[in-house]
Structure 1
Amino acid sequence: MTYASLTPEQAECFERDGFLAIRGLVTPDEIAEIREAFMQQAADGPVPGLSDTPRGSSANDPLSRYPRMMHPHKHADKAVGRLAMRYMLDPRFRPILADLFGEEPLACQSMFYFKPPGARGQDLHQDNFYLRVKPGTCMAAWIAVDDADAGNGGMMCVPQTAMLDIACPEQADPALFFTTEHVEPPPGLEPQMMQLKAGDVLFFNGSVIHGSTPNTSADRFRRSLIFHYVPASTAEISHWYEALSFDGARQDIAINMDGGPCGTTQALPAGPH
């Protein structure tokens, strides 16, 4: 089967903004499957070795009950692991990512965010601060598992930041954000709230400044299934990541050993969105 690549209008949008939402790429039945699988996995609380409870969270923090799940595709013994691997290597993503990279994509990370009502957001940041891809940068495919907007802590992207260098972050406000990094947008550039419906997929590269607001709704989750990809020409990547081709073959990529923009080794896995 042949899957669609980008239209000229979509390519122009990505070239201009550094991000692109493709509407309805994942079907309602597939979204229901994803939502049910991850909610069932979380039914008894955090899962050892899979769930990543934020540092400094308290017992009444919603993210203590529903922390994000990191690299579920590596847990083939679990239903969410097999599902994450299947969607991470979904053939619908391959031609889109190939157009965005200009070359063959490789998959290197999966994540699931629950973001229940009352959860803190994630401050503005750049993904390649964590993945440390060289040369070039990474690409995210952010699947909205619920409608995501300002009311339930939706995604924000800052247009025209795709070509920026990776910055050394400032300190984030722990009352509003569960992560510690904040990247200030350049003067005159403001975050744009992305209005996403369940099944929409937001693609953006590793230099784009982006983040999310707290979920201030009373009863709306803002769940998302997120994958990261790198171009086939990648020579180095952080030691937290292992690359796979879309055929499932493991790729041999050297570990990036430089100090990063802060002059020290980055010791954290990617934590976007």
Structure 2
Amino acid sequence: MPLTPEQIAAYHRDGFVTAHGVFAAEAAELQNEAARLTELKPLIDVNNIRCRWQDHAETGECRFDCFDPVIDISPVCERIARSPLLRDMAAQLYGEPAFLFKDKLIFKPPGAKGYDMHQDYISWESFPESFLTVIVAIDPSDASSGATEVFPGYHEQGCMSPRDGMYHTLKDDQVDVTQGVVLELQPGDVAFFSGFTPHRSAPNKSEHSRRLLYLSFNTARDGGDVRSAHYAFFHEWLQERYAEYGKTETYFR
């Protein structure tokens, strides 16, 4: 079995677990693929809702940060995302079959800001409560490069934000920030955490990008294969949010 009983128990206790060297043999290929994707200049546009943007922590410059989704433009990322090994590991944590729900590649170049404390679960009617996030490290990820920091045990509280269908950050007093665990990963390492696990990331203060393949799964009982339906809804939701700020020329490519 890919995960040990001890790892499975740790996930259910803490809301996260790491597994080292899972895709070590594919790490160089992932690095080359991530570099290739940054050359897809026609796709990297502020109106393309496939793209995410993040400010530089010091200058405030807005820079490209993420492709979401990514597997439809990257055969390498798709092979990892749909690998039987990863699916079986998620199924071990669930105790039932797992289905790919979401996929994105976060580049986090040097200087990029991190993300405030939040949970990945969003209370849309169609959003699976079994949502589970998987990180596949492409570059070394540590405190200096703005690694993901998780907070154990809080997943048992479920959704800690208003269930209004909007993205929310968490207040510092909702979580004991002294208990954070930085997910230090080497290329090819994998980390799993619950959609209810609070997490955040600091700015990338290193001299290299901190590229991570972020994947998400849900259970068979919680919708099964609903990735296509999710992205159809998600894109419509995004365009509505952009339009509220006067940005009406958005598209998906």
**Pick aligned residue for 1:230 from 218, 224, 238:** 218
> Does residue 17 of structure 2 align to residue 20 of structure 1?
yes
Shift of 1:268: 4.7
Shift of 1:126: 0.8
**Pick aligned residue for 1:37 from 33, 41, 46:** 33
Say which SS state the counterpart of residue 71 (structure 2) adopts: helix
8 Å contact from structure 2 (residues 54, 112) kept in 1 = no
8 Å contact from structure 1 (residues 88, 227) kept in 2 = yes
Say which SS state the counterpart of residue 100 (structure 1) adopts: helix
**Pick aligned residue for 1:73 from 52, 65, 71:** 71
**Pick aligned residue for 2:106 from 82, 93, 113:** 113
Task: Give the corresponding residue for 1:205.
Answer: 194
Q: 5 Å matches for 1:162-201?
A: 162-168=155-161, 181-184=168-171, 186=174, 188=176, 190-201=179-190
Task: Give the corresponding residue for 1:103.
Answer: 96
Shift of 1:184: 3.0
Identity %: 25
Shift of 1:148: 0.7
Q: 5 Å matches for 1:257-272?
A: 267-268=237-238
Task: Give the corresponding residue for 1:52.
Answer: 51
Task: Give the corresponding residue for 1:93.
Answer: 86
**Pick aligned residue for 1:214 from 200, 203, 216:** 203
TM-score by length of 2: 0.77
Say which SS state the counterpart of residue 129 (structure 1) adopts: coil
Change (3 A) 1:143 1:93: same
8 Å contact from structure 1 (residues 156, 211) kept in 2 = yes
Shift of 1:39: 1.1
Change (3 A) 1:125 1:30: same
Aligned length: 226
> Does residue 18 of structure 2 align to residue 5 of structure 1?
no
Deviations 1:222-266 (A, max 9, x none): 110111110011149xxxx943xxxxxx7x78x99xxxxxxxxx9
Say which SS state the counterpart of residue 234 (structure 1) adopts: coil
Deviations 1:197-218 (A, max 9, x none): 111100011100012111112x
Aligned equivalents of 1:62 and 1:128: distance in 2? 29
Aligned equivalents of 1:63 and 1:86: distance in 2? 31
Change (3 A) 1:10 1:208: same
Shift of 1:57: 8.0
Q: Give the partner amino acid of 1:41.
A: L
Aligned equivalents of 1:213 and 1:267: distance in 2? 27
RMSD of aligned Cα (Å)? 3.2
8 Å contact from structure 2 (residues 52, 68) kept in 1 = no
Gaps in structure 1 of 5+ consecutive residues? 170-179, 244-249, 257-265
Say which SS state the counterpart of residue 101 (structure 2) adopts: strand
Which range moves more in the overlay, 42-51 or 189-198?
42-51
Q: Give the partner amino acid of 2:51.
A: D
